[in-house]
Structure 1
């Protein structure tokens, strides 16, 4: 009985050590620094500038209110209140709720901007974001696909459509984001690859059609 107790204690202690192992600092910096909102800001401003100059940048800021500012504020409020776990939304139900909220905000933003005469590329960007999130939400019901790699790959694709193949120089950052998600054990390699495929494909199809 004593031997069994010692073994169980050792196993429990071992499990505790595993849970408390420090996460890779580099991976955390990449995940936080290149999260979806970072890509959203970069893609919006660059698409606006590349298609309509300063006027496009102004509309990009308006688009960011619907696709970034409002959703981020709501997520922060929910996290601070304790209703949601963290800003990366690791819990499936919370992630689905956030996606639905962002899609609704983006849809309203695209409709309003189109009615106000915004440049077509900026409306196309919001429609593409909504389409990508809708697909990710449908997949999230059964599988935890990576939103980080979807956002980064989708952004790169839209920049390629605006600036040409030179924008592919940003592609290694997508790989770096995928590595960080796997290193932090937030996703498997398959989930990050799937996110990149879904994000890039949906962004390419939708942005091309509207743009």
Structure 2
């Protein structure tokens, strides 16, 4: 069983792969940041557990279906595995903003799913990495430490400066992983 203090939870779009205001609707549109794939592998190799928590309202909006999402996540697993890493769990919310679910970030339901899937008592002390305020808010509700990356919508989120009092800010996932692995090896 992983320890919460050795868990990194990642948002997907804008953290692991390029984001699009028009949604990532096909496997062909899902373009990972090469440095992010390597960063996930490096975390795994250093004994960290990596999970993903991602809002995917494009499903409820009819832009793509769960089978297409499964193809994207299958490719993510494959690339990370080829790089020598592992993603322990991917939780996703297929709902739209007005669907009244409890899993759409900033609500903590997706992170609760991660906690349950990994059989953890708490997520307190783990890391939540995102490119939007709602990612950080979901993590903070579960006791996670917050990291904002400037990729995706992160630079826009940083420019607003609201709600980032407790967040560390990095250029991208790879820069955060460099910092984290240095901190834990020191």
TM, length-normalised to structure 1: 0.32
Radius of gyration: which is bigger? 1
TM, length-normalised to structure 2: 0.35
Higher percent of residues as strand: 2
